[in-house]
């Protein structure tokens, strides 16, 4: 079956909150049939990722889960490998490790994101530690003295170069480039090119499209509820470079302004400065169309069908809404139950 003919699957990403609440969200997601729980890693903004991942391990039985995503700057590869392998002992076959160059976790410490060469070395080191217990990182031997289980490594991607790197070396890919057909087609092209360099096929990789999501009685209400996530999407598109990201030429200067003015201390804060920024710059409609599945149930189903036609079939829904349980239930009943 071709990728674009596959039925859709849905995962969710929860910004880690208070432990009891987070555990309840994970149990509800599993009970409603979601396939994946992604857990963002940003120590200054959310609760601790590894503790939250442990809660996911102990409060679910089927769903896959793990950091989506950590980064090479705030977690040494030996620390990350040991944590993931220990989680895999708690929940065999269900743990994944998502890695990106670094976003709010890094910026809130006054540090810089990892460069491409650093991201490659980080992924390679973790894989070697999980497979053989030994590696060399930044010229220094590193090891695990116990035999760890292997955990699949996913890379979060936005631009062409990172997509090609992920196609070459990752087990799975978290795609943040957007949900418009041209975004999906470009992503598949670049990932496929990287896979071909390594003698692999794109069909061998586990691809998840990361998108904000909200379903409501009206599109206006749904869009209003996820403004903070749309602002984050704007910053992702502008980060490092806008080259190759299918941004209309007239909007490129606007996205550069977003990156220059984005408040990382208010990352994903409802109604905060970042929300006001995208409103001021007139980006809300464009971001809602590109970076979200949003609107009435029929709106959401139409967006999913459009993305499927372009070649996407697995969607990780970022749920930054206050009432996550309500969203999960409504999505499952009014959207997921009617798409195939």
Domains recognised in the chain with CATH numbers: 7-215+294-338 (3.20.20.30)
Question: What are the start-end ranges of the H helices in 198-323?
Answer: 219-225, 227-238, 252-261, 273-280, 284-291, 297-310
Span 102-127, pLDDT tens digits: 988 998 899 999 999 999 999 999 99
CA distance 229 to 195: 30
Select the more confidently predicted residue: 11 or 242: 11
Classify residue 245 by burial, with Cβ atoms within 10 Å: 0-12, 13-18, 19+.
buried
**pTM listed for this prediction:** 0.93
Mean pLDDT, residues 266-282 taken together: 89
**Mean of pLDDT over the chain:** 94
Residue 1, pLDDT above cutoff 50: no
Alpha-carbon span 230 to 288, nearest angstrom: 7
Task: Retrieve residue 258's tokens.
Answer: 């977003």
CA distance 6 to 49: 31
d(CA 39, CA 22): 10
User: Which residue matches tokens 């041209």?
Assistant: 182
Instruction: Check whether 5 has a pLDDT greater than 90.
Output: no
> Which class for 107: exposed (0-12), middle (13-18), buried (19 or more C-beta within 10 A)?
buried
Are 133 and 143 spatial neighbours (Cβ–Cβ below 8 Å)? yes
Confidence check: pLDDT of 4 > 80: no
In the beta sheet, which residues pair with residue 37? 12, 65
**Contact predicate 173/157, CB 8 Å:** yes
Check if the beta carbon of residue 80 is closer than 8 Å to that of residue 101.
no
Q: Does the pLDDT at position 331 exceed 90?
A: yes
Question: With bands split at pLDDT 50, 70 and 90, how would you rate the model's confidence at 94?
Answer: very high
The band of 338, judged by pLDDT with boundaries at 50, 70 and 90, is: confident
pLDDT tens per residue, range 40-58: 999 999 999 999 999 999 9
| CA atoms of 290 and 306, how far apart (whole Å) | 12
Calculated CA dihedral for residues 141, 144, 147, 152, nearest 10 degrees? -80
Residue-wise pLDDT for 59-90, tens only, equals 999 999 999 999 999 999 999 999 999 999 99
The rounded radius of gyration (Å) of the Cα atoms in the chain is: 19
- pLDDT at position 120: 98
Quote the pLDDT of residue 2.
Answer: 44
For residue 200, which of 174, 176, 175, 166 has the smallest C-alpha distance? 166
């Amino acid at each position: 079956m071709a990728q674009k003919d596959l039925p859709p699957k849905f995962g969710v990403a929860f910004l880690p909150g208070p432990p009891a609440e987070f555990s309840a969200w994970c149990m509800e997601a599993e009970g409603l049939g979601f396939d994946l729980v992604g857990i963002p890693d940003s120590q200054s903004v959310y609760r601790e990722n590894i503790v939250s991942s442990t809660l996911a391990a102990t409060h679910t039985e089927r769903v896959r889960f793990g950091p989506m995503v950590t980064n090479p700057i705030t977690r040494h590869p030996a620390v990350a490998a040991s944590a993931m392998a220990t989680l895999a002992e708690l929940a065999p076959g269900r743990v994944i490790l998502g890695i990106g160059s670094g976003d709010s976790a890094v910026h809130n410490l006054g540090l810089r994101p990892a460069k491409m060469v650093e991201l490659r070395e980080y992924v390679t080191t973790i894989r070697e530690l999980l497979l053989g217990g030994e590696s060399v990182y930044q010229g220094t031997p590193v090891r695990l003295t116990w035999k760890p289980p292997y955990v699949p490594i996913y890379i979060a991607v936005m631009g062409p170069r990172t997509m090609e790197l992920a196609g070459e070396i990752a087990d799975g890919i978290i795609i943040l480039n957007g949900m418009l057909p041209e975004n999906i087609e470009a992503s598949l092209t670049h990932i496929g090119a990287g896979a071909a360099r390594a003698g692999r096929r794109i069909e061998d990789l586990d691809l998840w499209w990361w998108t904000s999501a909200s379903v409501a009685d009206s599109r206006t209400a749904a869009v209003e509820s996820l403004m903070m996530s749309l602002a984050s999407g704007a910053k992702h598109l502008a980060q490092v470079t806008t080259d190759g990201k299918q941004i209309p030429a007239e909007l490129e200067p606007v996205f550069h302004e977003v990156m220059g003015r984005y408040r990382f201390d208010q990352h994903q804060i409802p109604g905060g400065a970042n929300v006001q920024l995208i409103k001021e710059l007139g980006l809300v409609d464009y971001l809602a169309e590109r970076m979200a599945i949003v609107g009435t149930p029929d709106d959401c189903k139409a967006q999913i069908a459009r993305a499927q036609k372009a070649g996407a079939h697995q969607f990780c829904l970022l749920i930054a809404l206050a009432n996550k349980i309500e969203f999960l239930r409504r999505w499952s009943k009014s959207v997921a139950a009617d798409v195939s």
